């Protein structure tokens, strides 16, 4: 049935169409056609399906040394970000892409010979090309593993560092792609293993970055001297909602690789390579991406950070002779271990102010590296920790002046603070007064945290949505004091004001009601001491095996509105009372932790209920909730039983389409207008409604006219009938 296979067939159709225009697409981009080949890697154990999604930075990672997933024909089909910030925003102007690809570089000297192993280099797109030098075994155990520090998460693991840890391992020891006869050209292994751990959080102050923790281990009996570790990035900042990859482009035309500039930012405690869209694309791409080194273990006394850049895939350059792509291990090691000419970065004056826009005519690669590390003997390891950081432009500055980087720098500082943990001054030593948890060790990732958001169930009804939540947040322990300091809950929804630039409206707040004691800092006045009686259930409610103690009803909401058209979503957070002793304010959990999109409508009806309906009826093209194009339209069938078959006919009796409805499993994925919401959105439906995209069983638009439909209750065989009108 179309409702079960719609997505697969639509994707197949788009792939065939894109295959026909592949040559045109490459020429229009004015880059070699190798920019658009099939998937870069394809052995059975390769895993590039995971991306950071707990926070607002969506960074794809892999288990073979790559970051990102390239901007190719499959980008929009897979609905997977490469490096999107803000990932979960409902404002299209804020959903900005930042990198095409990135990769790990590790270089060192063994037995007097220089070796550099790379996850990717310029102009490389498929297995068998030089530069793709990290591999894993064919075991599925090498796939990316996920764990979470969120107590209410099914992936909770007490060993987790962040809200979402993505963990994998790979090596450079293979000279042939495992499971194939494909050689890895020009690759002389350094003979290392890499443990890669990526961390992200959903806190509002920590949702704009991902921390990448690399542990490099010497697998050989001889030592590795002067080890350096770097991240190579093909940074390309733009907004796929404005300039997409299709032959016709988006509202702002075709994607442009050549309107970005890089820079190297140095402050007292920060060295960071940055990239941005030079003109901001009419406000659609006003965002920075940066890469910075947070620290590491086994650093030598001369450890430092180095930045280099060069135009994409250029082994020689008349315009920029000092910024040339390295082509072999010796040249790559030189880039890893030396600083570039920061005062004359192309596109900038010596003073650091950007030149005029015509200088943004190259696609610039970026390499940020650190080292040297201590000599690694057999089996010994070094550790390098980086952060990929994003930030919206601050203010209305037309140029890349320091004030415009304020958000980016603040986010980078938070990444550094979270990594430092107990190491308040960042010197790598546990100084007096820094041992917060009292275990006698220097611990990273120790920082103030709010209680977790509660478990939440969203139950849409006819013109209303009921929110249920549990009391799990009330037992949370403060990581700094070791005491319970939960204070209350806040309930949020999508903005109630049409055209609002805010993400949420605060619907209600409930907090502990206790007697104030001025001698006890734990009884300071936070909130309004309302208590929970207004939302506490007399008896807990069990939904899908979870017991909920509280409920809140949002009434007077519209049925059927899709999330991508400003529809409904809800979140419930928990907040603490702060810690006056440590000068900490009250902290609140993130709305992203349990945000759910709700589609109010009629609940599933009983077998003897004769009602049936369609809305809007009549349907007029360009209805208020329609999106652009014929696949972004829909109507709703309502008063459906839990399991039903809907059949749609023309007046002459021709079958137009058949839809299977199952209230227990329905998620709206058979309709593009619902399925095009935010990445990884949780959804909740009323059970008695099902959307239809007004495309027939052959995926063609239906014509103006009157249509008949039947709804068969699959549990009883009872059939109900109705009609609807389509006007174009």
Query: HEC states along 104-149?
Result: EEEEEEECCEEEEEECCCCCCCCCCCCCCCCECCCCHHHCCEEEEC
Is pLDDT larger for residue 14 or for residue 280? Answer: 280
The mean of the pLDDT values for the chain is 86
Q: How far apart are the first and last CA of the chain?
A: 26
Q: What pLDDT does residue 348 have? A: 75
Predicted confidence (pLDDT) at residue 518 exceeds the cutoff of 70: no
Residue 18 reports pLDDT greater than 60: no
In this structure, what are the phi and psi dihedrals at residue 210, rounded to the nearest 5 degrees? -125, 135
Of 30-39, 44-53, 130-139, 303-312, which has the strongest mean pLDDT? 303-312
Tokens 């957070």, located at residue: 573
CA dist 464 and 563 (Å) reads 16
In this prediction, residue 524 carries a pLDDT of 55
pLDDT of residue 153: 86
Given a cut of 80, whether residue 479 has pLDDT beyond it is no
pLDDT class of 269 with cuts at 50, 70, 90: confident
Whole-number pLDDT of residue 351:
58
659 CB contacts (<8 Å, ≥6 apart)? 1, 2, 3, 637, 645, 646, 647, 648, 670, 690, 692
The arithmetic mean of pLDDT across residues 637-655, rounded, is: 97
Torsion angle of C-alpha atoms 504, 506, 507, 512, degrees rounded to 10: 140
Report the range out of 81-95, 132-146, 648-662, 672-686 with the highest average pLDDT.
Answer: 648-662
> Domain ranges in the chain?
31-350+358-420, 456-597, 613-727
Give the domain 613-727 fold: Immunoglobulin-like (2.60.40)
Q: What is the secondary structure of 60-113 as a DSSP string?
A: BB-SSSEES--SSTTHHHHT--SEEETTT-S-GGG-EEEEEEEEEEEEEEETTE
Q: What percent of the chain has pLDDT over 70?
A: 86
CB 231 within 8 A of CB 207: no
d(CA 723, CA 651): 10
Q: Which of 337-341, 648-652, 686-690 has the lowest mean pLDDT?
A: 337-341
Give the confidence band of 595 by pLDDT, cuts at 50, 70, 90.
Answer: very high
**Contact assessment for residue 722 and residue 709, using Cβ atoms and an 8 Å cutoff:** yes
| Count of helix runs (H) and strand runs (E) in the chain | 6, 33
Per-residue pLDDT, 44: 64
The CATH code of domain 31-350+358-420 reads 2.70.98.10
Give pLDDT tens digits for 658-715: 999 999 999 988 888 886 556 767 899 999 999 999 999 999 999 999 999 999 999 9
Most confidently modeled of 10-24, 325-339, 522-536?
A: 325-339
* Of 214-218, 460-464, 579-583, the least confident: 579-583
Q: For residues 704 and 721, what is the distance between their CA atoms, to the nearest angstrom?
A: 20
- Tokens 């600083």 locate to 339
| Choice among 269-273, 376-380, 580-584, 704-708 with the minimum mean pLDDT | 580-584
User: Nearest 5°: phi and psi at 112?
Assistant: 85, -5
**For residues 23 and 29, what is the distance between their CA atoms, to the nearest angstrom?**
10
Q: Token pair of 161, please?
A: 């560092």
pLDDT value at residue 33:
33
Q: What is the pLDDT of residue 659?
A: 97
Q: Given pLDDT bands bounded at 50, 70 and 90, which one contains residue 477?
A: confident
- Per-residue tokens: 299: 């650093």
How far apart CA 357 and CA 318 sit, in angstroms, is 20
Between 17 and 51, name the one with better pLDDT: 51
For 374, the 3-state DSSP assignment is coil
User: In the prediction, which pLDDT does 37 show?
Assistant: 40
Distance between CA atoms of residues 226 and 483, nearest Å: 46
DSSP 8-64: HHHHHHHHHHHHHTHHHHHHHHTS-GGGS-S-S---TT-----B--SSSEEEBB-SS
DSSP 687-725: BS-EEE-SB-TTS-BPPSEEEEEEEEETTT--EEEEEEE
Q: How many CA atoms lie within 13 A of 574 on its CB side?
A: 29
Whole-number pLDDT of residue 440: 83
What is the pTM (predicted TM-score) of this model? Answer: 0.84
Average pLDDT estimate for 460-489: 89
In the structure encoding, which two tokens stand for residue 533, read together? 């009686």
425 by DSSP, 3-state: which?
coil
Residue 115 near residue 329 (C-beta atoms within 8 A): yes
Gap between the Cα atoms of 320 and 359, Å rounded? 12
Q: pLDDT of 569-578, one tens digit each?
A: 999 999 998 7
Rounded Cα–Cα distance for residues 493 and 554 (Å):
9
Highest mean pLDDT among 150-159, 350-359, 715-724: 715-724
For residue 287, which of 99, 77, 436 has the smallest C-alpha distance? 99
| Res 341: pLDDT | 84
Helix axes 2-20, 22-29, angle to 10 degrees: 60
Between the CA of residue 489 and those of 448, 517, 579, 586, what are the distances in Å? 18, 22, 18, 12
- To 5 degrees, how large is the angle CA 258–CA 261–CA 263? 155
- Count of CB atoms within 10 A of residue 233's CB? 29
């Amino acid at each position: 049935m179309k409702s079960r296979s719609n997505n697969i067939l639509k994707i197949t159709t788009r792939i065939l169409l894109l295959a026909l225009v592949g040559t045109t697409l490459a020429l229009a981009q004015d880059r070699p056609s190798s920019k658009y080949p099939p998937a870069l890697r394809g052995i059975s154990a390769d895993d590039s399906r995971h991306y950071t999604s707990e926070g607002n930075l969506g960074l794809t990672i892999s288990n073979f040394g790559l970051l990102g997933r390239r901007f190719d024909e499959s980008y929009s089909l897979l609905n997977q970000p490469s490096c999107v910030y803000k990932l979960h925003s409902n404002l299209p102007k804020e959903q900005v892409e930042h990198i095409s690809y990135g990769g790990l570089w590790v270089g060192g000297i063994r037995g007097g010979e220089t070796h550099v192993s790379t996850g990717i280099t310029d102009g490389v797109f498929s297995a068998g090309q030089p530069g793709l030098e990290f591999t894993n075994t064919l075991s599925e155990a090498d796939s990316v593993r996920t764990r979470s520090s969120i107590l209410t998460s099914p992936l909770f693991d007490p060993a987790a560092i962040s809200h979402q840890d993505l963990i994998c391992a790979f090596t450079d020891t293979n000279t042939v792609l495992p499971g194939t006869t494909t050689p890895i050209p020009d690759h002389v292994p350094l003979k290392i293993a890499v443990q890669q751990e990526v961390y992200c959080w959903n806190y509002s102050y920590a949702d704009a970055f991902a921390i990448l923790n690399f542990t490099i281990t010497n697998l050989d009996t001889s030592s590795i001297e002067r080890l350096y570790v770097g991240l190579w990035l093909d940074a390309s900042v733009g907004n796929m909602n404005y300039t997409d990859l299709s032959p016709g482009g988006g509202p702002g035309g075709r994607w442009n690789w050549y309107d970005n500039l890089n820079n190297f930012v140095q402050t007292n405690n920060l060295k960071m390579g940055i990239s941005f869209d030079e003109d901001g694309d009419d406000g659609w791409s006003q965002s920075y991406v940066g890469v910075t080194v947070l620290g590491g273990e086994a650093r030598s006394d001369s450890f430092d950070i180095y930045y280099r850049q060069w135009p994409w895939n250029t082994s020689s350059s008349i315009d920029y002779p000092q910024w040339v792509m390295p082509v072999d291990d010796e040249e790559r090691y030189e880039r890893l271990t030396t600083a570039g000419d920061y005062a004359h970065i192309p596109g900038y004056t010596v003073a650091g102010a950007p030149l005029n826009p015509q200088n943004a005519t190259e696609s610039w690669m970026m390499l940020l590296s650190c080292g040297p590390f201590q000599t690694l003997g057999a089996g010994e390891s070094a550790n390098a920790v980086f952060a990929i950081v994003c930030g919206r432009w601050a203010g209305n500055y037309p140029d890349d002046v320091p004030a415009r980087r304020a958000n980016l720098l603040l986010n980078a500082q938070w990444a550094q603070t979270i990594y430092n943990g107990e190491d308040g001054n960042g010197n790598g030593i546990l100084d007096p007064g820094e041992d917060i948890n009292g275990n006698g060790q220097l611990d990273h990732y120790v920082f103030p945290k709010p209680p977790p958001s509660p478990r939440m169930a969203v139950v849409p009804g006819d013109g209303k949505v009921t929110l249920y939540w549990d009391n799990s947040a009330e037992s949370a322990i403060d990581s700094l004091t070791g005491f319970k300091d939960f204070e209350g809950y806040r309930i949020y929804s999508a903005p109630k004001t049409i055209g609002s630039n805010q993400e949420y409206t605060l619907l209600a707040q409930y907090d502990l009601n206790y007697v104030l004691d001025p001698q006890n800092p734990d009884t300071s006045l936070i909130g309004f001491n309302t208590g929970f009686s207004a939302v506490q259930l007399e008896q807990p409610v069990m939904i899908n095996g979870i017991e909920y103690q509280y409920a809140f009803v949002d009434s007077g909401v519209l049925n059927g509105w899709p999330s991508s058209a400003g529809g409904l979503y809800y979140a419930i957070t928990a907040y603490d009372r702060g810690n006056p002793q440590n000068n900490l304010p009250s902290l609140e959990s993130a709305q992203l932790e349990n945000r759910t999109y709700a589609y109010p409508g009629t609940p599933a009806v009983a077998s003897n209920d004769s009602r049936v309906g369609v809305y809007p009826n009549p349907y007029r093209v360009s209805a208020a909730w329609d999106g652009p194009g014929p696949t972004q339209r829909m109507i709703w069938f309502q008063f459906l039983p839990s399991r039903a078959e809907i059949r749609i006919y023309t007046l002459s009796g021709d079958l137009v389409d058949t839809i299977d409805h199952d209230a227990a499993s329905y998620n709206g994925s058979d309709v593009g207008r619902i399925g095009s919401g935010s990445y990884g959105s949780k959804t909740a439906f009323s059970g008695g409604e099902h959307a239809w995209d007004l495309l027939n069983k052959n995926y063609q638009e239906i014509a103006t006219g009157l249509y008949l439909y039947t709804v068969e209750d699959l549990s009883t065989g009872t059939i109900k009938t109705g009609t609807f009108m389509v006007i174009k």
